Amino acid sequence: MKKIIYLLGTDGAGKTTLANNLLEHYKKSNIPFNYFYARHFPVLLKILKVIGRRTVLKTTDEFLNYNEYKSRKNNFFNKHKVIARVYASIWVVDYLLITFIRFLPIRISNKNILIDRFYIDAAINITESTCLTISEFNTVLNFFELFFPVPQKCFFIDVNPEIAFKRKNDIQSIQYLEEKRAAYIKLSKRYNFIMINGENNIDDVFIAVKNFVDRFILEK
């Protein structure tokens, strides 16, 4: 039976480097893996994002002043809850349609699957951005799981937000990373995350995950 493995972590956690190392290792070991990078590239949502930047978020920039950007956005969605739910719903549909089509060829193959940024990440982003309640967040997760397979193993690459922020130059702020990390931690029990210290040496992180995956692959 093919295995489905999910790499989780904030930007700067080292997921892409880890994924590449795992894929190269298992390719040499003749253990087939498909890699799926599930970042959302909006289509239906794109026009709404443009409208938002030119109206509610006009004169603010999340990279220059994340606190102001988030405060303005949250105030708007908390004040206009119907708009927030409509926006979130369109985002859910947009992600589902695009990602389902992209993922289908990989899902029907016989190879094991290594996934980076799947529906859990999408649900977190939707919830954080549109101020959904915990109940609504769980509804989004449950809805996605009607269409996407639940990963059998979830590895959470945990890195201090300050360290992660220094690793990349395209992250909004340390606060942004702190919020995302907190959201992941809240889900750790639901998906039985295997916690990996991403602050360790790259080779040590690879070996730690590989050892878990090796045992998992042997399971029937």
Q: What is the CATH number for 73?
A: 3.40.50.300
Res 39: pLDDT: 86
Q: How far apart are CA 40 and CA 38, in angstroms?
A: 6
pTM of the model: 0.92
Boundaries of domain holding 110: 4-218
Please list the ranges in the chain whose pLDDT falls under 50: none
Res 220: pLDDT: 61
Res 218: pLDDT: 78
Res 40: pLDDT: 87
The total of structural domains in the chain comes to 1
Res 208: pLDDT: 96
> Scanning the structure block, which residue is given the tokens 């990602």?
99
Q: How far apart are CA 142 and CA 68, in angstroms?
A: 32
